[in-house]
Amino acid sequence: MEADAFAVADQVAGRLHEALASGRTLGLATGRTMEPVYRVFVARLRALPPQERQRLISSWSSFNLDEYVGLGDGDACSFAQFMALQLGEPLDLPQGCLRLPDGRAVDPEAEAIRYAQQLRAAGGIGLQLLGLGRNGHVGFNEPPCRPEACCRCLTLSASTRQQNAAAFGGDPQAVPARAITLGLAEILAAETVLLVVTGAEKAEILRRSLQEAPCPEVPASWLQHHRGLQVIADQSAASALCLS
């Protein structure tokens, strides 16, 4: 891992550790940006004395942002499997700790409603971890998207399927066409939102998200209204920002 990427991962892992230690519900994300974060986070927890580590794990509460429709726990490309490999197995988390929408549900729309209700019953999200899509999506909230959009099933854009094709053998047509995602309403209701962005290819969309007027065409731009927004970006991703 490059020094800049490690610094980002270390900062984010530290925030996750603090949130877990304080008993806050974690809102988790998937994707390549999160892989080094979770590796460092796992290493932090494994370095703790066994009794302290077990205390944290026993109080674990997390909800993931999204899941592909049609994929579930046993599918290698599902987000459920990603989370199992990144956190569930390395930390030996009890079954059911890592909560995600059920991508195999017969009625995805009804599943989105059930998942939103489950999140509300748990008291909402304490710390929401977010990546940033190249078209400005967060979670799978594709443009155009307004801030009141709730948890729902939606159709993924061609650009998002292209961006996620690496996990499907490089074929964007193999990426499921639909997904269940928490909406901007649930994301903006989190106590703290941690937006993590790495790589030069995200520089322009990060600038638009943070430094242009919020609009439906850049869903991440609505995060500007969140008082608890924190942004952690590497030098490449931050290169287009006006910091004067």
pLDDT digits (tens, 9 = 90+) for 49-86: 999 999 999 999 999 999 999 998 889 999 999 999 99
pLDDT along the chain (244 residues), means of 10: 77 95 96 93 96 93 97 91 96 93 97 98 97 96 97 96 94 97 98 96 97 98 96 94 82
Q: Is 148 assigned a catalytic role?
A: no
Domain 3-233, second-level architecture: 3-Layer(aba) Sandwich (3.40)
Catalytic residue of the set 67, 111, 142, 186: 142
Strand ranges inside the chain, DSSP E: 26-28, 62-64, 66-68, 98-99, 127-130, 152-155, 178-181, 192-197, 229-233
Assess whether 102 carries a catalytic annotation.
no
What is the model's pLDDT at position 18?
Answer: 95
Q: What is the pLDDT of residue 162?
A: 94
How much is the pLDDT for 3?
62
Marked catalytic residue, from 4, 10, 135, 191:
135
User: Which residue among the candidates 67, 102, 137, 141 is catalytic per the annotation?
Assistant: 137
- Position 140 scores a pLDDT of 97
> Any catalytic annotation for residue 226?
no
pLDDT at 227: 95
Residues 6+ apart with CB under 8 A from 43: 13
Q: Is 201 a catalytic residue?
A: no
